[in-house]
Structure 1
Amino acid sequence: MSRIETLNQVLAGLMNRYKERVPDVGAIMQAMLYDGIIQDVEEIENDHIAFRTMGVPPLGIKSFEKIFLHYGYEKRDYYNFPGKKLDAYWYAPPADEYPRIFVSELRVNDLSQSAQDIITSYTQEVTTDPVDKLDLDNAAEVDRFLHSPLWRIPSLEDYNILAEESEYASWVIYNRYYLNHFTISIHNLKEGFNDITLFNNFLERHGFKLNTSGGKIKVSPDGGLLQSATVAEMIEATFADGQKQFIAGSYVEFAERKILPTYAQLPKEQITRKHRREGFEANNADKIFESTYNSQTKGN
């Protein structure tokens, strides 16, 4: 099996489980079909998918990125999130039909000593880089890895203590490498819905709750990248000793990438991905992260 075929299977596995855990995904797709925005869900372009990691050896970005670099992804820009104590990179796909990948990492050493101690009490169970043990050409093995726990189930007390200091930390300590979100490309939809304001109106008409941090639409300084997101659905999580609590799961993002000024005169049918605003924007992403934060999920 070629690496591209393996990548196809890995991405399909990620999306299948993500749809199971995030009912909004199927509900949004059904609403798009109902309103005639699409005729088939296969028409939806996935702009990017995102993962969260813990910045402790032997984990974090340095470990996780090996999976997708193996399939031909290329590492691109670095992003820093001082307030949330995160680092991130995005990765360009081997071909335009594949989603970009955004991987973030918590700077665990920047947290309080008590938070660090809680995190390392779990992550120390991983003594060697787990990706090094994988056969990356075996799609089933990679799929299992991306949906398997790396450490024991956290206690509810540890989860809540971490959430007080870093909601990102508490999300990762429970969810591990589950897909954090996928992103619908808005600019390639039919007229009347290929503008993020109009698409947000459609979402709200159908009862979907949008992330309001920094406004419902997050806009890059150059105006070329506009993003919005649903608020993460609450899932009933089972913690150590069988304790249960509703916590934030995953969410859905939406992105509109404007045509670059250089290509503004190109006929619409000639516009491809390379003609649009590329990459990401730290301030946009900073607000999108909060789709799983209590300030947004309250009442969801």
Structure 2
Amino acid sequence: MHTQIDTLFANLWQDYISITPSAQKVHALLEEFDGQREVINDHVAFRTFNIEKINMNKLAAQFIALGYEEKGQYDFEQKKLKAKHFEHPDSTKPKVFISELLVEQFSPEVQAIITKMVANIDDSAAAMDDFLYSGTHWQISSVDYETLLEASEYAAWMAAWGFRANHFTVSVNHLQHFQILADVNAQLKLAGFVLNTSGGEIKGGPEVHLAQSSTMADQIEVQFSDTKKQVPSCFYEFAQRYTLPDGSLYRGFVAASADKIFESTNVKS
């Protein structure tokens, strides 16, 4: 089971860095400071639509089959999203955060574009071993992409990138050289990385038992059905967790902070 989990995350990582070259550079930088010690991954996040054959529960099924358990539910009313997070009994395994777009809350035009995209996906696709890093299953025009972008940055990201890790997350608690998130951020900026400043450079803090920051997504060229276009791909997140009164490390997520982290893939700031 463990090797299956490790293989899945290794495949997800390879797919992720193929369109997020900055993440590999950040990873190398942190390993260098830590004397080549392995950078520990706090969680990986995925995006989808709340359409039956590929909804959040379908994505979660692959993790549940590997021993993961649902631990929290979150609502993002403004962004029209719902999310859940999952944990493995072995706390050294990364947590998993899966969100889905509430398609029915959008205009008929937006719904039609999304429905058409999803219609291209094989009914059994979500059950395939490689589904979580299978990318897009459709061709979409840059015009439809722009229509989605006007309505939802999240929907536009899904249209361009499909199914893959939206971000990996460095566990600051496991770093040797850096003890606090602010120091990680300072080093990243010094090295020329651009951070997400929506809601402040650091979202959350000791008062909510979790502090988070992230890079802004890389700009990567995507081939749409009619033209090529540079669009935001994925980003790298950094999480520092604080101890609870019982002495254990907080393992959940903070909706208000996650809301701002989503904006790391925004086209329009």
For residue 174 of structure 1, report the CA deviation from its aligned partner. Answer: 1.8
Corresponding residue for residue 166 of structure 2: 180
Superposed, which structure 2 residues align to 1:195-274 within 5 Å? 195-219=180-204, 222-241=207-226, 243-263=227-247
Corresponding residue for residue 91 of structure 1: 86
| Equivalent pair of 1:89/1:104 in contact (CA under 8 Å) | yes
Q: Distance in 2 between matches of 1:24 and 1:126?
A: 30
Q: Distance in 2 between matches of 1:23 and 1:221?
A: 31
Share of identical aligned residues, percent?
35
Q: Distance in 2 between matches of 1:233 and 1:149?
A: 17
Superposed, which structure 2 residues align to 1:81-230 within 5 Å? 81-126=76-121, 128-132=123-127, 134=128, 142-143=129-130, 145-149=131-135, 151-190=137-176, 193-219=178-204, 222-230=207-215
Corresponding residue for residue 59 of structure 2: 64
Corresponding residue for residue 39 of structure 1: 35
For residue 41 of structure 1, report the CA deviation from its aligned partner. Answer: 4.9
For residue 129 of structure 1, report the CA deviation from its aligned partner. Answer: 4.4
Whether 1:294 aligns to 2:260 is no
Corresponding residue for residue 271 of structure 1: none
Scaled by the length of structure 2, what TM-score is found? 0.95
For residue 149 of structure 1, report the CA deviation from its aligned partner. Answer: 4.4
1:175-227 CA-partner distances (Å, limit 9, x unpaired): 11111000001122225x11011111111111111000000000058331000
Q: Distance in 2 between matches of 1:288 and 1:149?
A: 21
- Out of 46, 66, 70, the residue aligned to residue 75 of structure 1 is 70
Whether 1:7 aligns to 2:1 is no
| Equivalent pair of 2:241/2:251 in contact (CA under 8 Å) | yes
Where do 5+ consecutive residues of structure 1 fail to align?
135-141, 264-274
Scaled by the length of structure 1, what TM-score is found? 0.85
**More moved, 53-62 vs 155-164:** 53-62
| Equivalent pair of 1:153/1:174 in contact (CA under 8 Å) | no
For residue 152 of structure 1, report the CA deviation from its aligned partner. Answer: 1.6
CA radius of gyration, larger in: 1
Where do 5+ consecutive residues of structure 2 fail to align?
none
